[in-house]
Structure 1
């Protein structure tokens, strides 16, 4: 779907930009009746309903790797412990602990409550993320190392490109798409990475489950005439993909 959408967006760029300026509102792109432009400066941010938690907080998920330390007790220090498929870990003294859907801090508080009184007087538990398999961004297209990359802390579009070892000689920096699902709706944004690098607009933040697609040299050859007349994108173009 992402590759098909990219092929729709780029050829329609010139006519869409003109239509958006003329109407001042959402417009449909060419013959793609399930694709419309959204009047916005950025993609919508995933909500609590999309992650069952705050979009900015890291939420523990199945197969994530954690490190756990109980202050002052070397026997209760685990350098690596993996969350199982059901979102649980097994910890000394207290046995099974449900950690999926919690932040590391919330998991630590849960473990403190389980340890307190019966095993330790005033336990201080620290839970840290070592590796994540549940919160990732996928990067594909004309990039040196396409793949799936974990999101730890804040990750922006250019940081994600750098994580994938950067552009190739055929990368089309003016054709970078980010796909995101929010509230059951599929959105896409078209970015000009050259404009971001020049500071013409902000480097957008990425969130778990985003997909980044970098345009390639074939698109550049196909659109060489168009881009002689279309100016650089001075802000992201945001699209809503209709549900078929």
Structure 2
């Protein structure tokens, strides 16, 4: 589910976490030329260009399912029509309508403008996003139910873990990674979920196309009754992995 760069980064993150805990958060990195610590306490939020749309979270994308109502014109109402792979639908009278990258409100205004004058005097259109396949996050690693999960509304890291049915016996809560691409740059953040649960820093917000990887506590597999006490990191460690364009 995650690529080679992510697989390589997991053990690197574990070593960095140990370094951060033992040195009070100071981290020095050598080796990989495309790995750098970003002086920030959070991952950057995706920009409009990362989604081809300015608003969040309700953005229509390929394979999403929408319902369209035209007030007073039941023959034009469409229930649960799927957006095609190119981000379009076919609508009665007006033909092809570009839907991807628009909010439901923007899509409604587009349909109104295409209907107005030629077919209806003053159309009133409502578009509802009923099911999304395009706004998703991937959750993998040591979690009860890895998979692809939709984002509708606000989604945080702990909410995403709960959506995936929570931690396993061997989850390493202090090694939770979030990968994100912003403006062609690939970022990664290392979070201590135990510290977040204690309220020591904020539960980070997730965005569509994020990948969450939960670490595996090999020590607990080998010695289930052995407890290692590691001080939580003060905040997340943010990494810039390089340009993946």
TM-score (norm 1): 0.87
RMSD: 2.5
User: Paired residue for 1:8?
Assistant: 12
User: Paired residue for 1:241?
Assistant: 241
**Cα pair 1:196 1:203 within 8 Å, conserved:** yes
Over 3 Å counting, the alpha-carbon distance change for 1:125 and 1:138 in structure 2 is same
Over 3 Å counting, the alpha-carbon distance change for 1:165 and 1:229 in structure 2 is closer
Unaligned runs of 5+ in 2: none
The farther-off stretch of 33-42 and 50-59 is 50-59
User: Paired residue for 1:143?
Assistant: 143
**Cα pair 1:59 1:100 within 8 Å, conserved:** yes
Q: 2:188, 2:238 → 1: CA distance? A: 6
**Cα pair 1:41 1:236 within 8 Å, conserved:** yes
Question: What SS does the aligned partner of 1:178 have?
Answer: strand
Question: What SS does the aligned partner of 1:206 have?
Answer: coil
Question: What SS does the aligned partner of 1:172 have?
Answer: strand
**Cα pair 2:20 2:233 within 8 Å, conserved:** no
**Cα pair 1:65 1:82 within 8 Å, conserved:** yes
How far apart are residue 32 of structure 1 and its match?
Answer: 3.4
Q: 2:55, 2:156 → 1: CA distance? A: 14
Question: What SS does the aligned partner of 1:6 have?
Answer: helix
Per-residue CA distance 1:21-71 (angstroms, 9 max, x = gap): 56xxxx642433432221111001111222222252432221111111112
Question: What SS does the aligned partner of 2:123 have?
Answer: coil
Aligned length: 238
User: Paired residue for 2:93?
Assistant: 93
**Cα pair 2:143 2:214 within 8 Å, conserved:** yes
**Cα pair 1:174 1:192 within 8 Å, conserved:** yes
Is the aligned partner of 1:208 residue 2:208? yes
User: Paired residue for 1:133?
Assistant: 133
How far apart are residue 155 of structure 1 and its match?
Answer: 1.0
**Cα pair 2:62 2:87 within 8 Å, conserved:** yes
Question: What SS does the aligned partner of 1:240 have?
Answer: strand
Over 3 Å counting, the alpha-carbon distance change for 1:220 and 1:238 in structure 2 is farther
Over 3 Å counting, the alpha-carbon distance change for 1:229 and 1:158 in structure 2 is closer
Superposition pairs of residues 188-227 of structure 1, within 5 angstroms? 188-218=188-218
User: Paired residue for 2:168?
Assistant: 168
Q: 2:220, 2:28 → 1: CA distance? A: 24
The farther-off stretch of 162-171 and 70-79 is 70-79
TM-score (norm 2): 0.87
Per-residue CA distance 1:57-107 (angstroms, 9 max, x = gap): 432221111111112322222221011112110112222111122221111
Q: 1:219, 1:44 → 2: CA distance? A: 33
